[in-house]
Homo-oligomer: A and B are copies of this chain.
């Protein structure tokens, strides 16, 4: 049930945000941005959710945009980390692709409120911050593309258009953040499993990697 305390530094999602009050503000901002969008969210709303006055926000963050930047950066790093650890495992390309999609999708479903901000409020960032985040995003693309290329090279996959298929796979995963609803009928694990299977079909994997 609770996967909050673990030995890996990966859990307790915003652990690295150092002053405790700043973390409360940041979590409040994630909720507000995910619910209403960045531009429709007021600094007063964020401060209110964190139980503080509007002015308290500016002790910990220079601007409202800095809040979005911190959220976006940490979120992207987490998502990329999830993808990387699965891609670097041993096993066939099909196993690694399935693992990567499963984990990536599960992350987008479990942390769908964070993911929504991270994926859909990107161009509310300022010029410099946006290009920084876009660079992180290209690395996700490279990870998936590499696995698919290896699968093609080893004769495991049948993919006529590697770039296009990479795009489609990532697009499919990312869009989970848009529609996933915690009160819906599917758990994050179920969605991850379903999507891993669909992606293997998309790349024409020869052998389904049976977990047994």
Which chain A residues have a beta carbon within 8 Å of chain B's beta carbons? 37, 39-40, 120, 123-124, 160-161, 164-165, 167-168, 171-172, 174-176, 178-179, 186, 191, 194-195, 197-198, 201-202, 204
Contacts and interface: CB of A to CB of B under 8 A. Distances in A.
Contact of A201 (B40, B161, B186, B204): B204
Contacts of A178: 120, 171, 175
A165 B39 contact: no
Contact of A37 (B39, B194, B198): B39
Nearest to A164: B194
Give the oligomeric copy count: 2
Given A37-B37, A171-B172, A202-B202, 8 more contacts: A39-B40, A40-B124, A120-B120, A161-B194, A164-B194, A171-B176, A172-B175, A175-B178
Given A37-B37, A198-B202, A172 B168 contact: yes
A168 B40 contact: no
A145 to B, nearest CB: 15
Contact of A175 (B161, B164, B175, B197): B175
- The residue in A165, A198, A204 that gathers the most chain B C-beta atoms within 10 A of its C-beta is A198
A194 B168 contact: yes
Contacts of A198: 165, 168, 202
Contacts of A40: 39, 124
A39 to B, nearest CB: 4
B124 A37 contact: yes
Contacts of A174: 175
B164 A186 contact: yes
